[in-house]
Amino acid sequence: MRLVQLTVPTGKRETILETLEERGVDYVVTDENGRREVTAVVYFPLPTSAVEPILDELQEAGISEDAYTVVVDAETVVSRRFEALREEYETGDVESDRISRQELETEAESLTPTFGVYATMTIVSAVVATAGLLLDSPAVVVGSMVIAPLIGPALGASVGSVIDNEALFRHSILYQILGVVLAIAAAAVFAWMVRVTNIVPPGLEIGEVDEIAERLTPDLLSLAVALGAGVAGIVSLATGISVALVGVMIAAALIPPAAAAGIAIAWGEPSAAIGSTALVLVNVLSVNLAGLVTLWYAGYRPENLFSLRPTEERVRKRVAGLVVIVLVFAVFLGAITYSSFVISTFENDATEEIELVLSEDEFAEYTLLEVQVQTDGNYPFLGPERVIVTIGGPPDERSPALEERLHERVSAQTDQDVAVQIRYIGLVER
């Protein structure tokens, strides 16, 4: 529910009151003596879904933006006429649940802080995410998402597009670009400082840290996270629900991958940064795409009807452009996903072959303990390089025949040259 406060310009009092009477709106009028161009202030409660159509109707009646309007939350309204308005406008569909276009624009603008605050919080969140990735700590990584101020620009671009506010659109796009650059740069500088000061072990392999590795080789499921974040963010914004938690989801799609890219750069492995950087870009684009489509589906349109057709054409072009770019990135992520699938399949096949060999009678005294596949480090499309087979058996005994058989059977599972290393662990029977 909303309480609208509208200043009445000179000569428009009767027009405004007649419009409100025709729509069955309760109102209270107070005279205003402070300004010559304003004769009164009218107060009237509205269901949230009725704010936009009523204000549009008043504007068509000749109320310009010079007559300022204030819309505030109303906790309770007791009125039969109000209940009738609610039944008329709250139909249960998407459009009836959303806030007005005017409120949406204000909310989108308020979600983006000043540049100084935005830059500071982005850098801090990237540094915290970098520390969390290097510590292999999911809790710290989640903490970095909470403080990231990315939801405003991410949603503002979509809002600016559908309501024909190009200033908001350009401002949000600029902030998104700066946010990505600042996050990756801050992560790279911090990770480099950590590395040269030996705060982490000198021989640390970033590909062996789970929190980092999963972002260096992203897969297609990452698209679902970004698209879901975009839809959830816009729905939360458009329905007046708190967007704080959704902001964490959007940050989850952007900050950790940006931090992983910075770590890869700091470790002198630019190829490793390709996958995570692509993940950041595709997530940014996917959030914008999902937000744009959701807002248009929710029924948001420009205030000026003469701008409707140009805005619709512009939105269609932007949606088409985003779809094409996201599909290109999706193909790239699909290739990474396929390479991960190949490695996983090879490991399973190799394990099965090793178990079959060890099940033979001549090798019955040996037991398979572990199979480990090491990759070649050619990011983002990894391939198997070495297979380490750990076998338990009689102490101080090696079997050249077993080693030859295992090497032959494992190598047959892939077209690449793969080294097979056999490790023995003596088992003593009791």
What the block records as the tokens of 125 is 């969140």
Our count of domains for the chain comes to 3
312: in domain: no
What the block records as the tokens of 387 is 């297979």
* Contact yes or no for 27/20 (Cβ under 8 A): yes
* Contact yes or no for 38/101 (Cβ under 8 A): no
Pair 174, 222 in one domain: yes
Give CA separation, 83 vs 19, 29, 73, 88, in Å. 18, 21, 17, 9
CA angle 351, 355, 358 (to 5 degrees): 140
Domain that holds residue 248: 104-303
Pair 199, 85 in one domain: no
290: in domain: yes
- Residue where a domain terminates, one of 90, 125, 149: 90
Pair 61, 120 in one domain: no
Pair 268, 139 in one domain: yes
50: in domain: yes
Pair 224, 369 in one domain: no
* Contact yes or no for 387/380 (Cβ under 8 A): no
Which pLDDT score, from 0 to 100, does residue 116 have?
92
List the pLDDT tens digit at each of the 430 positions of the chain: 788 888 888 777 888 888 888 888 888 888 877 666 777 888 888 887 788 788 888 877 767 666 678 888 777 777 777 777 777 777 655 555 677 777 788 878 888 888 999 999 999 999 999 999 999 998 999 888 888 888 888 888 888 888 888 899 999 999 999 999 999 999 999 999 999 998 888 888 888 888 898 888 888 888 888 888 778 877 777 776 666 667 777 787 889 999 999 999 999 888 889 988 988 898 888 888 888 888 888 778 776 666 778 888 888 999 999 999 999 988 998 898 898 899 999 999 999 999 999 888 888 888 889 999 888 878 888 888 899 999 988 887 788 888 889 998 998 888 888 888 998 888 766 5
* pTM more than 0.85: no
